[in-house]
Amino acid sequence: MILLQRLRHANVLQLYGYCYQDSNDIPDTLTTITELGSPLEMIQLLQTSWEDRFRICLSLVRLLHYLAHSPLGSVTLLDFRPRQFVIVDGELKVTDLDDASVEESSCTSNSDCFMEFPARNFTLPCSVEGRCQNMNEKRNLYNAYRFFFTYLLPHSAPSSLRPLLDKIVNATGELHWGIDETAAQLERVLNLYKSGEYLQNTTRVPKAEYRRVPEAFIPDENYRCWPSYHHKGCLLSVFDVNEAIEICDSYSQCKAFVLTNQTTWTGRQLVFFKMASNHIVPDPDKITYVKVTD
């Protein structure tokens, strides 16, 4: 509870209050009241869009950057597993700080700074002050790599971002980077994605022509794609109309798409992709594009 009070950050579960009360004949039971989050289900996360999975990894890195530079010093999460986190409005938040530690391990030589994991071991340098250098930070970072980055970051990412994402995954897996560099690189990915710069190096020559139909929607004619924001249709996020055309051209069953007025957390527009345009209805909030040539 005290750590929740002291560690105030967007990716630390918010503490609303607490009280002492007797509970089941146990005197002075402490009850904390926090914001409500959904349990982190890795299987479900793997079925979501890359954009949402990237948000989870970005949330985690922002949290770890804060913990490395917190008012209490460098904080490590000794019990670092997905069940220690929840999702609140799409953001990852740590909820269990029972096993958090602010003590950097003492040492007399580098051999005292040994970190053991199931698949890898690391030896960190022992500082002249007799402390293992950045051990708390590096332990958090490697756990983020093995529990989150390897599963969530590269899979189904935009092809032009894959080299940078692979570099991030490899660098954290080998602990070549600290949290500052890792956070800077993930923020760079976010900027490339939000600005549309990641599309500049791709060849974007439309295979077909499209007719623009303003204030129109196709209510049916859905087909399924993966990953999709809609379980019964193909609803994806795009940076602009040109990217929507590129996506539609890449699906043989796509014959039209509908721009909605909904956006994702990065500001990208949500678009329905359709397999026909036989029934178009008026809708002031949408714009339909119909493929006229293949």
Six-digit token pair at 12? 């630390």
79, 98, 240, 285: the active-site residue: 79
The conformation of residue 106, written as its DSSP 8-state character, comes to: B
Q: Locate tokens 């804060």: which residue?
A: 66
Gap between the Cα atoms of 273 and 276, Å rounded = 9
Q: Are 104 and 72 contacting, i.e. CB atoms less than 8 angstroms apart?
A: no
The contacts of residue 42 (CB under 8 Å, 6+ apart) are: 82, 151
Q: Are 75 and 100 contacting, i.e. CB atoms less than 8 angstroms apart?
A: yes
- Other CB atoms within a 10 A radius of the CB of residue 240 amount to 13
Six-digit token pair at 171? 């660098």
Could you tell me the maximum CA-CA distance found in the chain, to the nearest angstrom?
76
Is 25 catalytic? The answer is no
Gap between the Cα atoms of 294 and 292, Å rounded = 7
Gap between the Cα atoms of 281 and 66, Å rounded = 50
Helix (H, G, I), strand (E, B) or coil at 262: strand
Helix (H, G, I), strand (E, B) or coil at 282: strand
Q: Are 215 and 282 contacting, i.e. CB atoms less than 8 angstroms apart?
A: yes
Which residues are known to be catalytic?
Answer: 79
